[in-house]
Structures are given as C-alpha cells and as structure tokens.
Amino acid sequence: MLIQKSADIRPSEITPPELYARRREFLKTAAVLGAAALLPPVLHGNVARAADDDLKPTPYKDITSYNNFYEFGSSKTDPAEYAGGLKTKPWTVAVEGNCEKPGQYALEDFLAPHQPEERIYRLRCVEAWSMVVPWLGVPMSKILPRFQPTANAKYVEFTTLLDPAQMPGQRTRILDWPYVEGLRMDEAMHPLTLFATGLYGKELPNQNGAPLRLVVPWKYGFKSIKSIVKIRFTEEQPRTTWNLQAPHEYGFYANVNPDVDHPRWSQKRERRIGDLFRRDTLPFNGYAEQVAGLYAGMDLRKNF
C-alpha cells in the first residue's frame, strides 16, 4: 500500500497524470532533505517508498493500450480497440452464496458509502512484464462485511459479464466463458485488496475492466478479474479460468514467486513496460512484509 488518501477524497483532488512525475520529485527531495522525519509515521512510510524509482507510475497511455482482456481479443491492442462500446452504466452486481444479505445491487449501492482511494501498486503479469498503476479503488474489506458472510463463507468467487453481443472474444472458444476468479476470504479481506473503479484519477477505461475490477497486488495479474457482475461466497475453493484452461501452468494462488518458474518460462525477472532493462521479480511482488503471513505453513511450490 503506497500513496493512499483519505476515504472522503473528491475526484477533483486526485493528482492528474502530468503531475505524478513532479510529485514524485517533490517527495524524493523531501526525503533527501530529511523533511520526511517530520511527517506522521504513515505518510513517512509512503514517502520512503514513493522516493523509490520502482514506483514511478507507468504512463497512462501504456496502462490503457497494452492490455489483457480476452473478451475483446487476445492481442494486447485488442481491448483498447474493441472495448469502447461496452455499456458500463447502469451496472449491477449480484451477491450470492453464504451470506445474510444476498441480492442484486446497483454498482453505486454496492460501493456505498465508500469513496475510492488512490493506491499506487505494482502489477506483475504472469507473462513477465509489469507496470505501476495508480488505482482508484475501495478496499474489499470495507465492502464485503456489509453482505454479512456466514461462517461457511471460506472463499469469494468473482464472475465477469457474459455477453457475446458486446464482447466479441466470447464468440470464440479461446477461454471457457464467463471469466471466473476467486480468493480465500482472508486474502479478500486483506487491506491491500481492492475493488478498483478508476486509475490516474479518472474512471476505469473499459479496456482496464470498467466499471469494477479486482486488484490484488501480490498476485499475478490474471487474478485481477475485470468487469465483475457477480460475487459469490463459497465454502469450496472456486474454480478459476486460467486454472481450468491449463492447470499445470496457472494455480489458484497465483502469488508472484520468482522461485517458481512457469513451466514454459522463468519468473525470476520481469520487464517493466517502458524500461530497457529487465529487473528482478520480488517475492509476493514486493508485498511480502504485508502478506507472507497469510501463507504461513503452506508449501508455495505446491500451492502456486
């Protein structure tokens, strides 16, 4: 969790893309001058990390034109080209399964009363490229309790819209539609986990999963399911699209792990979009301090 603003932030207060680089410079200078020592502890932590060049946000243009969203085609440029027509307003999210308050919720009610916060996270794709994305989102831990999951709710399953008329990729059998994903309840409730609704201070572009997508920064990008229309509290581990497609290549956990290679390529290094040289991939994508405890005692080679 990095630059995080208070819950009552207005969209107009969010830093526009062109100011990001300058703000980073300011933070860097502040850290160098020792001004950081004067800041409150939480912000101090943010300054220390924001000063790290590792968190320079990837340009808006790259985040929104180099995408994976197979519902619109399998090439990286397809989503930006074909997702524009997806109708994201109005949008309804169904809540089902082991909870006291199931129902069909208008997106606004699903998120209410929470305003999106800004979080700058690394996104590491299983294809060994990465980005840094300034998301706008609401921590899932603020939203899920409202539906009063029961003691049997051990996992949350997420489902993307199924609508071949709007999503041309769904007219092919390239994946088993609709796209589904899942998290263990404690992963979903971890403070880093977001329902994202925007990036760079703006509404989420369709190609990035409008109007509602999952963001779990310590897992490979394929966990971050887009255009969510349903969540379901389950007792059993949910099935997930890429695991169904190729079980030996894509596990349920999908934790970023430089020590566990993909069967067809290494995961030790990654190419940050826009960089010339590759860099080392960090365990849990650099969030080990916050999340490693969730997996204490688990064999992460088996649970990949």
> Of 14-22, 35-43, 90-98, 221-229, which part binds ligand MTE (CB under 6 A)?
221-229
Q: Which of 97, 139, 211, 221 binds ligand MTE (CB under 6 A)?
A: 221
Residue 114: other Cβ atoms inside 10 A: 16
With H, G, I as helix, E, B as strand and everything else as coil, classify residue 132.
strand
Run of H or E including 141: helix 140-143
- Contact set for ligand MTE, span 106-125 (CB under 6 A): 123, 125
Residue 197: other Cβ atoms inside 10 A: 20
> Of 17-25, 33-41, 217-225, 267-275, which part binds ligand MTE (CB under 6 A)?
217-225
Nearest CB to ligand MTE, comparing residues 14 and 125: 125
The yes or no reply on residue 71 touching ligand MTE (CB under 6 A) is yes
Distance CA 276, CA 258 (A): 20
Q: Residue 291: which of 248, 238, 240, 254 has the closest Cα? A: 254
Nearest CB to ligand MTE, comparing residues 82 and 222: 222
Q: Which of 122, 226, 230, 272 binds ligand MTE (CB under 6 A)?
A: 226
Nearest CB to ligand MTE, comparing residues 179 and 295: 179
The yes or no reply on residue 222 touching ligand MTE (CB under 6 A) is yes
The yes or no reply on residue 252 touching ligand MTE (CB under 6 A) is no
Nearest CB to ligand MTE, comparing residues 71 and 270: 71
Q: Residue 201: which of 14, 57, 58 has the closest Cα? A: 14
290 contacts 139 by C-beta, under 8 angstroms? no
Q: Which of 160, 257, 281, 285 binds ligand MTE (CB under 6 A)?
A: 160
Cis peptide before 178 (omega within 30 of 0): yes
Q: 7: which DSSP letter?
A: T
The yes or no reply on residue 224 touching ligand MTE (CB under 6 A) is yes
The yes or no reply on residue 136 touching ligand MTE (CB under 6 A) is no
Nearest CB to ligand MTE, comparing residues 91 and 149: 91
User: Position of tokens 């800004």?
Assistant: 118
The yes or no reply on residue 197 touching ligand MTE (CB under 6 A) is no
Nearest CB to ligand MTE, comparing residues 68 and 234: 68
Distance CA 141, CA 136 (A): 15
Nearest CB to ligand MTE, comparing residues 31 and 72: 72
**Residues touching ligand MTE, count (CB under 6 A):** 16
Q: CB of residue 143 vs ligand MTE: minimum separation in angstroms?
A: 19
The yes or no reply on residue 281 touching ligand MTE (CB under 6 A) is no
Distance CA 66, CA 59 (A): 11
- Within 8 A by CB and 6+ apart from 172, the residues are none
Q: Residue 100: which of 152, 157, 147, 158 has the closest Cα? A: 147
Distance CA 256, CA 129 (A): 12
Residues at the contact surface with ligand MTE, assessed by CB under 6 A: 67-71, 123, 125, 160, 179, 208, 221-222, 224-227
